[in-house]
Structure 1
């Protein structure tokens, strides 16, 4: 047994009675071992002995206290196995237990092995001196194997900083996570549900009610995900169950893709998205590092030395790294927008700088140079309209980034009565933005067996004008000839002579213009027309947002026109005033809306969040409409708890009153039982705290461990590092944790387990007496039989332990030297009590 195992640092502050605080002061002093070290001049080369009598003056015997390990230097620490966070070149890479040996000066050196270096993405095979070493045998100084490499251990933060030259690193993209770390999760059966209903009472004596249930059910077995999406609707004397989709899915890591079997929809990046039943294999951008998702240009240049490359956009540094002499290439920028201008600064080792600009722009279809994205679907078409044809079909699409300026894409769609092919290219116009142009040729056999062929052309444009801070997020125009049908139109149950929903042209545009700090002007427009039909669909919206002394204002106008209906126009103004000076997390709101040819409505209200973690949201509004002088009242509240989300509302006007209610959450069946949760995302985590109930999870309102010590973090980002933190300030008085955070990396749709080693028990101060009646010497190490409890004895022979189980004998081994008379054992049995910290006296024999 290693009695000098590291003393785990406390993660939680305690509020104790005044007469106990000096005990914890000396305990914290001993836990932070450098505080016991001598503050010596570094020029002293001789070994100095620290006399324990300088610390102990309570009448104890001190001649047998062994504190030699702490008297070597001001860096002296106890060797052992430590849970360590490892940083490589200032980036957190790994967290694991590492054994540390003691150097002659008392400081610690990490046992770094070639296997650990490989896990840290070091090019071990590039260094002959490393290849010759056993893969799991600790190395000497790192610089003996890799020039200029170094490792420094920060004991107080349990952090190991390893510095490795860039040339010795296996370079990965920013945000890269090794696929070997992607976690398939554990087997689980779950249902993510949302139920809502209303009860309406009218003043004319009629009543009505409605209910709606949405269920997204799932089963995880290894990497496979089985999903079912079903709904239930009840109202107007009708009851209906609908199954929207059922499918099985898993990832194909080597292809960075997902394979799906069952009912789903095709990607909509080239062809319009289609509902199908069949099989699909498609690229998944979520499996790429964050820095390689979306479009960003590849930056190329030449460095004359070990140079620092800094890339700025809009004055902000978005990338900084060091490169070796010669040509360099940077292809892992985080995309901050679809267009803009990058300022690249190359700072050489001698301090000289060179700068150049890299303008870029991208429409949504554009890919990074060398990026290949694809999808392939074989299935049976599913239509939303009864009577439509539902043929078998096959569809394939490919998109490839040729360079910073050019992306090529193509696609094909085939069925028994339909064939279409698409080809196009995206171009970066640098300062002028970016544009993509494509054409689709289609041939359709209509219901009357007549063949029709035609073309559809599309152009898309995107641009961010930095000088005026104007952003064209997308502007597109599509024109289709009279003989062109997309796949949906081709399968509608009507022949060529009656095709009134045959699309002719469509355009859309979205613009955002910054005015001054905190103010912006926005507009969006959409129009679509049809062959053989003079009606058009239109939608236009524009408005302005601004704020003044914390008060937010919005003024907006909207126009909409739907086929065969009258157009609708509205103008609205919204004002939002913070009330945090009087009521935290609350706002007063005023809205006024005028509808063309109709009434003007004014609404005054208050909204906000309450309780310590803002898990309760509320709103109250009172409205008045000028035509007829009608009034209405609207009250709403939402409460988020560990077991789900509850919401309720009340509405009242001159003619009726209505009560709304709802509940949403998840029911998760796993190997340890059933756990209820808040509404689930695609990937989620089960927290296991060894039975510690009431521990809250940071940054998720209302979430804490249930009565069995379990909780569900409802949403995680797949294929990325997700840190889960326990709020230690909310732990019950009988619970302590050795580590308050956990890192998880789930696959798409996985439920991973985050285990927190919580100590469930009381906090205890034990006064240890030797057989002769003297207290156990200061500095003695105390370790429980199962090694779950450990600490150092203070100057009065008092030992502080947390997480001591009650009504259960606990055996503790105490050691302050190597001789037989320098160690003893004690068994304590703690009874439950109402106090925060219990104090007892025990004989150590």
Structure 2
């Protein structure tokens, strides 16, 4: 028994000793993938170098195109060089320069001992508590930087160093309309034509712009050309300003906007953060019939279109580079007209503490009437943000016949809203009249009640004494063919715009209107509108009411009053259960004076990208008059075209039009949809017929170029290619890129794609053995114009895209000179299956 116990103890001692000898030390060793397991997986006998991949999260060093995030916020998509760190088990770390970190908002000058190495790379560990993490699968570089090391910025801020002035280019925007009217009684037929042209030239930061309109009617023998403006302009980013030389309009935040021909230097608020942006008008109205809408600003026609009966909204006005009330005229098919004014109001004058906004304008007064003299004048304005949420502002206007000064103060009252009050003193000398002197006081208010969903966008009131005239009023009296006429002398003006989201899904209300009284002729103009919209189980409905009134009194025997009330109801019901992307609609419009009309119709979209819209409509009124319309609108790669037919008891009309743009750049001519002043030029050579996401009808042309018309100035604009619509012979590395356009820029968004054949190649050596797993394959494609790489799989196969029909591959599986070879290949695309060709080639 003792002998057995001795033998068991001896065996256990030996086993424990052997186990102790073979046990790895926790403190001296690490998990290691042994590449020797793969050496003979293909029986090639070749030893492959996989040292770059033997650790978790390890990859080969080099340049990768990644999305950069700081503290969870997206910064940019950029090519970043990565190196390996021995202290981090050869994990990839980014090589970021001091300049790049400064652009990212890191306070590089405030961090002591923050230096770059001999390669220009900064070790982020020099910043306390900073770190980086590279997600190779998602190609995302996530930087964690303590807030104390970052420059404080407001929401929506973009570093000015990212602003892109765009490429040198020559472009043209155009919008053409035509209408042919056939009378159904004894009236003569009529024709109307309209053309809007916006040509431009960009060289560096300089922009040359022109806006011209042409109108012709069969009722007038003469063509009517109007030059709205011609000017050159450039941004001055350090000053957050724009320098303008030529014809434009002065700002209207303090004085009424004045058209001028000369020079202007003014602050561009678009360079501020998005949360500090301002206000733009929307034209709303109600048409009684198939009507023509004409919009003028500062005496120039800036918009003309046709609308069906019922309520309408116009939001796609071209920018005129200035401001001023919009004069809207709705011409009905029976010859009657509605006329009203949409105020181009401005919010209270407020600035952030320490910020300055200014404008200096000098030149000639540029009237829309050719008979008026071009009188020299100068205008200057400024507003400055003070402590306690206050803003002080003022300015002056000076001409030989007119002088004015303004002073005002604005304040953010917190929960009570924001207000500004200013007073203007003016001295004027109208032609052949006595000198006048007067004052004008103005009050503006704005409030957003987030708790109730109420947004009082604009509430304003102005009162002027009988002797007050504006610069425009005074200079308009100096004309070549002068005849005595009354000067409109504004007494008071009130305006209001309110929008309200009702609780518990009860819908949305918008209210707007203004009242103007004049000292002379006892003239008064009143315009008001109210709208309500909601939806129930997919059925949407809208109610609108509009009231317009005009009155004047020349004498007791000459009194004129004119008023009109309009009400409309529109209901839209989805019809998708029977026809995809189709809606039924019903509309009712009643006017006083006027009649009541009811319409029923269908509308929808078609084609793969929903870029074809159509509508048909039939109506009857209480006078037993019938009316109807049918129309098509197509938005495509090269622009937009539309055609419409409508009729009523007196007229038949055929309306048609086209709009688009063309950009001439260093790579050729690209056609696209119309844009206002800035655009993004997509460059994806060889990737034709590919849709741009979130833009209807925007598709790359046969060369891989297109124009993205909707641009946010001084903001990051993400441009994405829809990879599902790409051609079979193209693969793209990164489908989204980000650009920051400046005002008036044509900014290029460039994509790198592998264009050519796709193939799975089996690589063997001269003995017939397959090349080892992990070998790197490189091909220089003449078609793609760059190097294409791939890695050999465990069966000697490699997948490559962007290949020429024939070429040479370079293969390497080690660091020694003899651990590489070259293989020539020849592909037959006619044998491709699902766009992929398979072939075998020998590597020598």
The two structures have a TM-score, normalised by structure 2, of 0.82
Q: CA deviation at 1:604?
A: 0.9
CA distance in 2, matches of 1:467, 1:167: 33
Instruction: Indicate which of 500, 508, 528 corresponds to 1:520.
Output: 508
Indicate if the aligned counterparts of 1:179 and 1:253 stay in contact, CA closer than 8 A: yes
CA distance in 1, matches of 2:242, 2:529: 38
Please name the residue that 2:359 is paired with. Answer: 375
Q: CA RMSD in A?
A: 2.7
Secondary structure in structure 1 of the residue aligned to 2:522: strand
Matched, 1:796 2:828: no
Please name the residue that 2:196 is paired with. Answer: 214
CA distance in 1, matches of 2:39, 2:611: 50
Instruction: Indicate which of 808, 830, 842 corresponds to 1:811.
Output: 808
CA distance in 1, matches of 2:253, 2:261: 19
Secondary structure in structure 2 of the residue aligned to 1:679: coil
Instruction: Indicate which of 463, 477, 481 corresponds to 1:479.
Output: 463
Matched, 1:167 2:148: yes
Change (3 A) 1:423 1:115: closer
Instruction: Indicate which of 540, 543, 557 corresponds to 2:545.
Output: 557
Please name the residue that 2:616 is paired with. Answer: 620
Instruction: Indicate which of 520, 542, 567 corresponds to 2:563.
Output: 567
Indicate if the aligned counterparts of 2:365 and 2:376 stay in contact, CA closer than 8 A: yes
Q: Number of residue pairs matched?
A: 732
Instruction: Indicate which of 684, 703, 707 corresponds to 1:712.
Output: 707
Q: CA deviation at 1:589?
A: 1.3
Please name the residue that 1:511 is paired with. Answer: 498
Indicate if the aligned counterparts of 2:39 and 2:48 stay in contact, CA closer than 8 A: no
Secondary structure in structure 2 of the residue aligned to 1:124: coil
More divergent stretch after superposition (828-837 vs 618-627): 828-837
Report Cα offsets for 1:328-350 as digits up to 9, x if no partner: xxxxxxxxxxxxxxxxxxxxxxx
Secondary structure in structure 1 of the residue aligned to 2:787: coil
Matched, 1:734 2:729: yes
CA distance in 2, matches of 1:505, 1:292: 30
Change (3 A) 1:468 1:82: closer
Change (3 A) 1:42 1:549: farther
Q: CA deviation at 1:708?
A: 2.1
Indicate if the aligned counterparts of 2:682 and 2:748 stay in contact, CA closer than 8 A: yes
CA distance in 2, matches of 1:691, 1:71: 34
Change (3 A) 1:697 1:52: farther
Matched, 1:679 2:674: yes
Secondary structure in structure 1 of the residue aligned to 2:790: strand
CA distance in 2, matches of 1:801, 1:577: 51
Indicate if the aligned counterparts of 1:500 and 1:530 stay in contact, CA closer than 8 A: no
Matched, 1:274 2:261: no
Matched, 1:76 2:58: yes
Q: Matches of residues 288-367 of structure 1 in structure 2 within 5 Å?
A: 288-293=272-277, 363-367=347-351
Q: Which runs of 5+ in 2 are unaligned?
A: 1-23, 280-345, 552-559
Q: Matches of residues 827-842 of structure 1 in structure 2 within 5 Å?
A: 827-833=824-830, 835=832, 836-842=835-841
Change (3 A) 1:153 1:390: same
Indicate if the aligned counterparts of 1:52 and 1:62 stay in contact, CA closer than 8 A: no
CA distance in 1, matches of 2:378, 2:521: 32
CA distance in 2, matches of 1:467, 1:724: 35
Report Cα offsets for 1:50-104 as digits up to 9, x if no partner: 46668987xx315434264266333332233322332222223342231322537
Secondary structure in structure 2 of the residue aligned to 1:286: helix
Please name the residue that 1:532 is paired with. Answer: 520
Please name the residue that 1:645 is paired with. Answer: 640
Instruction: Indicate which of 92, 109, 119 corresponds to 2:74.
Output: 92
Instruction: Indicate which of 235, 241, 247 corresponds to 1:251.
Output: 235
Q: CA deviation at 1:730?
A: 0.8
Instruction: Indicate which of 421, 426, 437 corresponds to 2:421.
Output: 437
The two structures have a TM-score, normalised by structure 1, of 0.82
Change (3 A) 1:78 1:446: closer
Please name the residue that 1:196 is paired with. Answer: 177
Indicate if the aligned counterparts of 2:693 and 2:722 stay in contact, CA closer than 8 A: yes
Q: Which runs of 5+ in 1 are unaligned?
A: 1-39, 296-361
Q: Matches of residues 623-772 of structure 1 in structure 2 within 5 Å?
A: 623-627=619-623, 629-772=624-767
Please name the residue that 1:326 is paired with. Answer: none
Instruction: Indicate which of 129, 142, 162 corresponds to 1:181.
Output: 162
Please name the residue that 1:226 is paired with. Answer: 208
Change (3 A) 1:428 1:790: closer
Q: CA deviation at 1:509?
A: 2.1
